[in-house]
Structure 1
């Protein structure tokens, strides 16, 4: 059973095709892993093993007829609970929301169902997806499988915990300031935030993307062929692409690679993280790229402006809730949002204007580079029960300065493991490419994974 859990999507599909393993047999292995690990990591919401068994049996029958429904037929997938699936409530990670079943599948869920994926449950997130943490007023506290005392990050907290714990090969998160990449970095996963609009989302808002979280680059690339099909509900949805998502050939000789070790504001990168990123940059340089340090694209004014805009927007979202419901919101988030009541319309617009400034600085940087390497996270880890790496609602976004600008500039970015701290926690390397050049990020990520060999030993349930 344990050996099955190491199979990639590519390996699983080969076995399904050869009839040496069925989707049902594989699902039972995943189900057994969830049974042993879930009491410790609390990654899942609306987990439905009975439905998963039925889906896996139906997929098995299709493979026996050599008639798979799509590229992901029979592959178990979890969805962040912010991603709607018809008939299930979307609690948004908070006890303040009424549990009303969704009427339709969100674009990501629709695409996965079209291709026969086995959607076995949702993954946890903090209230309204507004924290980089596994802390929630609705869900149990999600924990990092590498060290159960530590945070998996967020807001795709459960997705990261599920991926590192071995709950199948594919987990879909969402990302508006780093919520795919940050938890991927803290749990050793490959987390891919594509160009804005590459994977349609609904509801849409500025900077919001969905992306795969996997144990290897190939698994994310295979998933992109399904996830990137357009959907009219997202007005930013990009036209159909004819990418060969599995074409990972790239020659870095002569490429201009910028290394950004200073985010410009927020938490400074810890020494272990700086060292790991510099070691990764050295590999790229040794392969023939022109590697040089670049200045940050963020400023304190940008981060504070974004904070002001998000507080105002979020307060507008919750201010009309009945008092008894608003009181159920996680206190950290409620305390942060209350300051939004004092933000004037002019200040909110000025705050939003800082997202445009981010686009400008990111665009300017990419006139001088072909790709950028940065730390994903500035710190190695933090306690599981903290709401953020600072645990201070007055300093809520100090940890996102390396990740958030690429949401606002709509550029593809990924986090890939580049080593471990002395305490045994994963360290993430962020790889950023030009707008719309998702393939460049995937190719560079695959090349780096080839050099390092990727993570070979993943966490096991306690007692195993």
Structure 2
């Protein structure tokens, strides 16, 4: 049997049912794994071994009675910093936040804990989630387990690192421009940004979604059974739909006859690096061999769209930062302050024009995808960059140059996933993005599962230094 920290959730649940494993020994194995990795990765926030073991003992008692409380009972799980857990501070990755305890679990946390998941730890993120790196003024710098010199990505930085390092099988992140898919791609794990509203979240916001980050499509589907349950606190949530998430595995046959768009040029931002392009083309080739009809796509994003959304986010952050007390504002990462304050001179019409690009992006994305069942592309144009940098460009005036492939599907509300499709010559993972039509979350999982079955054997998961 594999090491306990490496076992997928569905394997753990079967073992609990058969009483061949206990949630206590599994949780302890995960805590031991974290103890070996964490001095190097710094992926956790509120790591509380005693509390986790207490939850595991309660789960063990339920399993011994033959009465698990839900479909995730006893499975080790992490939850991102910005998803509230009752009684815990919500720093949002920044030293500028007042550390008041949260009054209640946010919907994703509530669903996981109701289902019996063992909360091993929360995970780290950058200041306000506005970076695709693990750089934070509150948390220690998060690193990538595949190469400690590199970032795990962001803003679900700790979640991506934790999934790749074996901090248990189930992790949850959030995504407003790529913050699940980017770290999933750079850490070699699977991440799903669901259709907007499929997973209720609080507070809701344009393009914002919560979703699973796991080592397998099967574990992500298991999480979606729980996360997609309704919660009235999300005023943007979809009507509940009893999707058969357990039907995620349609085999390679799922691909036969599908019309798949191949997008290799985002139309904006940074150019795709040759190793990334080659890996995406190879993945599309496998799909074509399985019977899919793969059609090259022209770029549909423009630099004006990307710049407009970037400027709109800057203005939102500029207004938020201006409302802080001076000493709190000074505590925010200087890169974030420079990025936000760069639009201080914007007029009302300029700000409105910037915000209009959210809608322009939505319209362009839906139109471009209408001819296809699914669209595949790079998650990002490059592999993971240096851990100490806030963004690949290290330039606050080009802070979003790397999200051209991911952000359109936030605005169009379409589901999109990241799955590993290869490695660079230096051994860094490369993420393949699979996007579906709006509401077709299960279809995206099925296509991802088909690719998971076809892709080349994956390299062993990284081990902590000295292992």
Tell me, in whole angstroms, the C-alpha distance in 2 between the residues paired with 1:19 and 1:241: 33
Which deviates further from its counterpart, 12-21 or 243-252? 243-252
Alignment partner of 1:167 is 2:167: yes
Q: Which residue in 1 is equivalent to 2:106?
A: 106
Tell me, in whole angstroms, the C-alpha distance in 1 between the residues paired with 2:4 and 2:346: 53
Tell me, in whole angstroms, the C-alpha distance in 2 between the residues paired with 1:265 and 1:188: 24
The root-mean-square deviation of aligned C-alpha atoms, in Å, is 1.1
1:417–1:454 Cα contact (<8 Å) kept: no
Task: Give per-residue Cα distances to partners, 1:85-112, cap 9 Å, x unaligned.
Answer: 1100000100011111111110001111
In structure 2, the gaps of 5 or more residues are none
Query: How many residues matched?
Result: 464
Q: Which residue in 2 is equivalent to 1:253?
A: 256
Partner of 1:415: helix, strand, or coil? strand
Tell me, in whole angstroms, the C-alpha distance in 2 between the residues paired with 1:65 and 1:340: 60
Alignment partner of 1:419 is 2:431: no
2:254–2:450 Cα contact (<8 Å) kept: no
1:216–1:454 Cα contact (<8 Å) kept: no
Task: Give per-residue Cα distances to partners, 1:60-80, cap 9 Å, x unaligned.
Answer: 000111100100110111111
Q: Which residue in 1 is equivalent to 2:47?
A: 47
Q: Which residue in 2 is equivalent to 1:143?
A: 143
- 1:344 Cα shift? 2.2
- 1:259 Cα shift? 0.3
Map 1:372-387 to 2 at 5 A.
372-387=375-390
Q: Which residue in 2 is equivalent to 1:240?
A: 240
- 1:2 Cα shift? 6.0
Tell me, in whole angstroms, the C-alpha distance in 1 between the residues paired with 2:36 and 2:260: 43
Partner of 1:360: helix, strand, or coil? helix
In structure 1, the gaps of 5 or more residues are none
Task: Give per-residue Cα distances to partners, 1:192-211, cap 9 Å, x unaligned.
Answer: 00000000111111110001
1:288 to 286, 291, 302: 291
Which deviates further from its counterpart, 15-24 or 228-237? 228-237
Tell me, in whole angstroms, the C-alpha distance in 2 between the residues paired with 1:310 and 1:19: 51
2:255–2:450 Cα contact (<8 Å) kept: no
- 1:456 Cα shift? 4.9
Tell me, in whole angstroms, the C-alpha distance in 1 between the residues paired with 2:209 and 2:416: 11
Tell me, in whole angstroms, the C-alpha distance in 2 between the residues paired with 1:260 and 1:15: 42
2:283–2:455 Cα contact (<8 Å) kept: no
Tell me, in whole angstroms, the C-alpha distance in 1 between the residues paired with 2:64 and 2:351: 57
Which deviates further from its counterpart, 308-317 or 174-183? 308-317
Tell me, in whole angstroms, the C-alpha distance in 2 between the residues paired with 1:268 and 1:187: 21
Tell me, in whole angstroms, the C-alpha distance in 2 between the residues paired with 1:107 and 1:78: 15
Tell me, in whole angstroms, the C-alpha distance in 1 between the residues paired with 2:269 and 2:22: 48
Map 1:290-329 to 2 at 5 A.
290-329=293-332
Map 1:158-197 to 2 at 5 A.
158-197=158-197
Tell me, in whole angstroms, the C-alpha distance in 2 between the residues paired with 1:244 and 1:456: 31
Q: Which residue in 2 is equivalent to 1:78?
A: 78
Q: Which residue in 2 is equivalent to 1:359?
A: 362
- 1:367 Cα shift? 2.1
Runs of 4+ displaced beyond 6 Å = none
Q: Which residue in 1 is equivalent to 2:345?
A: 342
Alignment partner of 1:441 is 2:444: yes
1:308–1:347 Cα contact (<8 Å) kept: no
After TM superposition, the score normalised by the length of structure 2 is: 0.98
Task: Give per-residue Cα distances to partners, 1:117-173, cap 9 Å, x unaligned.
Answer: 111221000000000001001100000000001111100000011111100001100
